Amino acid sequence: MSISSLRIGFCCLVACALVANRALAQERPYFVTYDHYLEEPGNLEIAVASTSGFPKEGRGYSAPWLELEYGVNGWWTAEIYLEGVTTRHAGSAFGGWRWENRFRPFKGEHRLNPVLYVEYENINEASRIQKEIVGGGPLSIEPIGGLREEHARELEGKLILSSAAGAWNVSENFVLEKNLSEDEGVEFGYSVGISRSLGGLASGNTCYFCRENFVLGAEAYGGLGSTSAGIEATRHFIAPVVSWRVGNRNALKASLGFGLTESSDRYLLRVGWAYELPVRRAR
Eight-state DSSP code of residue 230 = B
Q: Quick one: pLDDT at residue 171?
A: 98
CA distance 143 to 3: 34
Is 45 inside a domain boundary? Answer: yes
Q: Quick one: pLDDT at residue 27?
A: 62
Q: Quick one: pLDDT at residue 273?
A: 97
* Structural domain harbouring 80: 3-278
| Count of domains for the chain | 1
Residue type, 76: W
Q: Which helix (H) or strand (E) holds 11?
A: helix 3-18
Is 215 inside a domain boundary? Answer: yes
Is 225 inside a domain boundary? Answer: yes
Is 283 inside a domain boundary? Answer: no
Q: Quick one: pLDDT at residue 237?
A: 98
As a residue count, the chain comes to 283
Is 230 inside a domain boundary? Answer: yes
Domain of 18: which CATH number? Answer: 2.40.160.40
Contact 61, 128 (CB under 8 A): yes
pTM of this structure: 0.87
Is 9 inside a domain boundary? Answer: yes
CA distance 38 to 94: 28
Q: Give me the tens of pLDDT residue by residue for the chain, a chain 283 residues long.
A: 443 444 444 454 444 444 333 333 446 899 999 999 999 999 999 999 999 999 998 889 999 999 999 999 999 999 999 999 999 877 899 999 999 999 999 999 999 999 999 999 999 999 999 999 999 999 988 889 889 999 999 999 999 999 998 778 999 999 999 999 888 899 999 999 999 988 766 555 667 888 888 999 999 999 999 998 778 789 999 999 999 999 889 999 999 999 999 999 999 999 999 999 998 875 5
For 27, 37, 193, the CA distances from 106, given in Å and listed in that order, are: 21, 12, 21
